[in-house]
Amino acid sequence: MSSVDASIDAHMAIDNDAERLRNSLSHYKGFVFRWQQWKALSPTWDHDHCAGCWARFAERPEEWNDSVHTEGWVTLWPTTRTPQEDEKTVAEWRAAGKVLVPSPKPGGFQLDWLCPDCFATCQEELKFVIDPEHPQWQKAGLSVSSQ
């Protein structure tokens, strides 16, 4: 294989990875995001993950053995799950010998996070909106000062 062929293969692999990422995040098309420091919203919620690549978000990176983001792009995903539904799911997981901690849902929203790389890869094609003062933040009880 020539160096030109290898270069073309490498670019195709990158394009395929970006396309897979955009497809996996397509349900966020047109969503409003803001840059924010990651903050634990409950005593049992000590980290989160990028919805695109599964990179970790946490307040204290030194407590983890992997790479940790302390800030990133966040959006709100409306949820209709009740605490009772969460409790039932947790009980099912425990019965199967697994651990599950339901995410906090301020104002009926789940916070979904994207790392800078995943956000940059998808922002244009998925038409992400950057608006740190959008009314959705106040609906979830997350004022502009929460950033």
Total Cβ atoms within 10 A of residue 32 = 18
Q: By C-alpha distance, which of 79, 135, 133, 71 is closest to 104?
A: 79
What's the pLDDT at 82?
A: 85
Burial class of residue 91 in the structure, from the number of CB atoms within 10 Å of its CB (0-12 exposed, 13-18 middle, 19+ buried): exposed
Mean pLDDT over 121-143 rounds to: 92
Q: What percent of the chain has pLDDT over 70?
A: 88
What's the pLDDT at 43?
A: 87
Indicate if the pLDDT at residue 143 is higher than 80.
no
SS3 85: helix
Using alpha carbons only, what angle is made at residue 41 by residues 39 and 46, rounded to the nearest 5 degrees?
A: 70
Q: Rounded to an integer, what distance in angstroms lies between the CA atom of residue 12 and that of residue 97?
A: 41
DSSP β-ladder status, 68-69 and 71-78: unpaired
Q: Which two tokens stand for residue 9?
A: 């293969």
**pLDDT tens digits along 81-129:** 888 898 899 899 999 999 888 888 888 899 999 999 999 999 999 999 9
Q: Rounded to an integer, what distance in angstroms lies between the CA atom of residue 73 and that of residue 122?
A: 12
Mean pLDDT value across the chain: 87
Indicate if the pLDDT at residue 19 is higher than 50.
yes
Indicate if the pLDDT at residue 12 is higher than 90.
no
Q: Rounded to an integer, what distance in angstroms lies between the CA atom of residue 99 and that of residue 102?
A: 10
